[in-house]
Amino acid sequence: MKNVIIIGGGIIGLCSAYYLAKEGSKVTVIDKSDLLDGCSYGNAGMIVPSHIIPMAQPGVIHQGIKWMFNAKSPFYIKPALSLDLLSWLVQFYKNSNQNHVNKSMVPLRNLSFFSKELYQELAKSTNEFGYQEKGLLMLYNTEKVGEEEIKTGKIAEELGIEVDFLDQQEVKKLEKNIKVNALGAVHYKSDAHLSPNHFMSFLKSELNLMGVKMISNCSLLNFKVSNEKIEELITNKGNFKADGFVLATSSWSVEIAKKLGIKLYILPGKGYSFNVENLLVKPTIPSILCEGKVAVTPFNNAVRFGGTLEITNNNDTKINIKRLQGIVEKVNQFYPEIKVDLPEKKKVWHGFRPCTPTGLPIIEKSQKIKNLTIAAGHAMMGLSLAPASGKLVSELIMDKKPSIDLSEFRST
Ligand SMILES: Cc1cc2nc3c(=O)[nH]c(=O)nc-3n(C[C@H](O)[C@H](O)[C@H](O)COP(=O)(O)OP(=O)(O)OC[C@H]3O[C@@H](n4cnc5c(N)ncnc54)[C@H](O)[C@@H]3O)c2cc1C
């Protein structure tokens, strides 16, 4: 039996704990928070095999620069004199090309479908987290964006992803109960969604049942290393020993990895979400409002609206009202019957997506520290890819052949 400590109790850390405990390991999760909120809770809950094109892609820099000058746009980079930011931007620039997209699409698709299979398995026993397979509508209301979405949809179709191309009338037929102002949509039929808050509760109760120890308000401060192995974790709650360690601390991993002499490129991409409850009319299928990159997810009693990606630092918890207005305006344009008001700041959730400059997550055994596995940098797909990432982490630690090829999911 292996004794494993996971640093970071977000969805990636908890899924890793789940599959390691299933393999019979003795697992402890430590997290500096109270394990009740954070990026893995307030996100849009979409499971997206449709997302085969990584964030680093041709044209993204040009579009990003245009958005930087629009206060309500979905994207912003907070200027800072930081070496981490500069080196991340250089890497991002290097990866934003067609060659990178071509070699990323199949590995991403495989990781996504593997993850969805695991979600289906998890939902079989007790679907208390509202897992539903209704697909995802990429709604657009301009010809230009429509063309881009259709082009992406055709590439996805070639890779075996189930796609429907809908015109205005077909969108209407699908979403009968609510008016949708869209020229058309690309319907990714194999996408799914769930309630992230409920999924995190489900994971924690399963981990409790399996005897996994979860220690909240426990910050990793440093490591004791000898012979290229971590001997002990030094935390504010004492020192911990184990055979294996998992680093699942999102963009905080950069500073933590530095203590081990490991260079990671991950920056926080701040995003917002808010729920509107008891709507008289609401969409039934999750959607992305493409012109504003706004995510709309219907849950039982509420609809969650989320968006914006502000590359910033982990201390920047400010809610930017202009960007929130951008979200609200797009929702009211696409779904005029909902009539969303600008939410009060205190009702707005924010989270930091861990963004790598490749747009691909890191799932690897460290090349420098023999008993360390890294699982971080899942950006806007952390929920979608969590079960697969957790399962792969457990396979790496148990020295099993990984279920899928991990060569594109490396830090270097
Ligand atoms: C608005 C928005 C919408 C999104 N929608 C979706 C979606 O629809 N689908 C999807 O797949 N993804 C979505 N995402 C992305 C998804 O939420 C993230 O990719 C995912 O939550 C990242 O999980 P994680 O476990 O890597 O990080 P986190 O959940 O951030 O967990 C990392 C943990 O590490 C802990 N930690 C940090 N430093 C230390 C330390 N020194 N010691 C101990 N613990 C430490 C932190 O406290 C934290 O709990 C969205 C994100 C946002 C912001």
Q: 324-376 pLDDT, tens per residue?
A: 999 999 999 999 999 999 999 999 999 999 999 999 999 999 999 999 999 99
What letter does residue 132 receive in the DSSP assignment?
B
Q: How far is CA 337 from the centre of its chain?
A: 29
Residues of the chain with pLDDT > 90: what percent?
A: 91
Q: Return the pLDDT at 3.
A: 97
Dihedral, CA of residue 13, residue 18, residue 23 and residue 28, to nearest 10: 60
CATH fold of the domain at 3-40+198-262+359-397? FAD/NAD(P)-binding domain (3.50.50)
The per-residue pLDDT for 108 is: 97
Give nearest CA residue, ligand 1 atom 51. 43
Question: For position 69, what pLDDT does the model report?
Answer: 85
Cα of 374 vs centre of ligand 1, distance in Å, is 14
User: What value does the mean pLDDT of the chain take?
Assistant: 96
pLDDT digits (tens, 9 = 90+) for 136-160: 999 999 999 999 999 999 999 999 9
Q: Would you state the pLDDT for residue 307?
A: 96
Over the stretch 99-137, which tens digit does the pLDDT of each residue have? 999 999 999 999 999 999 999 999 998 899 999 999 999
Q: Identity (one letter) of the amino acid at 93?
A: Y
Burial code (b: 16+ CB inside 10 Å, e: under 16) for 193-209 equals: bbbbbbbbebbbebbee
Which CATH topology does 49-190+266-355 take? D-Amino Acid Oxidase; Chain A, domain 2 (3.30.9)
pLDDT value of position 233: 98
Residues of the chain with CATH 3.50.50.60: 3-40+198-262+359-397
Q: How many CA atoms lie within 13 A of 263 on its CB side?
A: 6
Residues with Cβ within 8 Å of residue 111, at least 6 apart in sequence: 361, 385, 388, 389, 404, 409
Q: Output the residue whose Cα is nearest ligand 1's atom 33.
A: 8
State the pLDDT confidence band at 257, using cuts at 50, 70 and 90: very high
Which protein residue has the closest C-alpha to ligand 1 atom 14?
380
- Identify which of 254, 353, 384 to mutate to test ligand 1's pocket (most ligand atoms within 8 A of the CB): 353
Give the phi and the psi of residue 348 in degrees, each rounded to 5. Answer: -100, 130
The finding on whether 46 has its CB within 6 A of some atom of ligand 1 is: yes
Strand ranges of the sheet holding 229-235, from the earlier edge strand across to the other edge: 220-226, 229-235, 238-241
Position 203 scores a pLDDT of 98
State residue 132's pLDDT score: 98
Residues of the chain with CATH 3.30.9.10: 49-190+266-355
Ligand 1 neighbourhood includes 200 CB (under 6 angstroms): no
| CA 316 vs CA 181, 271, 272, 287: distances in Å | 34, 11, 13, 28
Q: How confident is the model at residue 98 (pLDDT cuts 50, 70, 90)?
A: very high
> In this structure, are residues 52 and 151 in contact, taking their beta carbons and an 8 Å threshold?
no
Ligand 1 pocket residue status of 408, Cβ below 6 Å:
no
pLDDT (average), residues 270-275: 97
Question: Is 9 touching ligand 1 by the criterion CB < 6 Å?
Answer: yes
Ligand 1 atom nearest residue 12's Cα: 25
pLDDT number for residue 68: 86
- Per-residue pLDDT, 81: 84
DSSP string for residues in 37-70: -STTTSS--EE-TT--S-SS-TTHHHHHHHHHT-
Measure 38 CA to ligand 1 centroid, in angstroms: 6
Q: Flag the least confident range among 31-45, 55-69, 354-368.
A: 55-69
* Entry pTM: 0.98
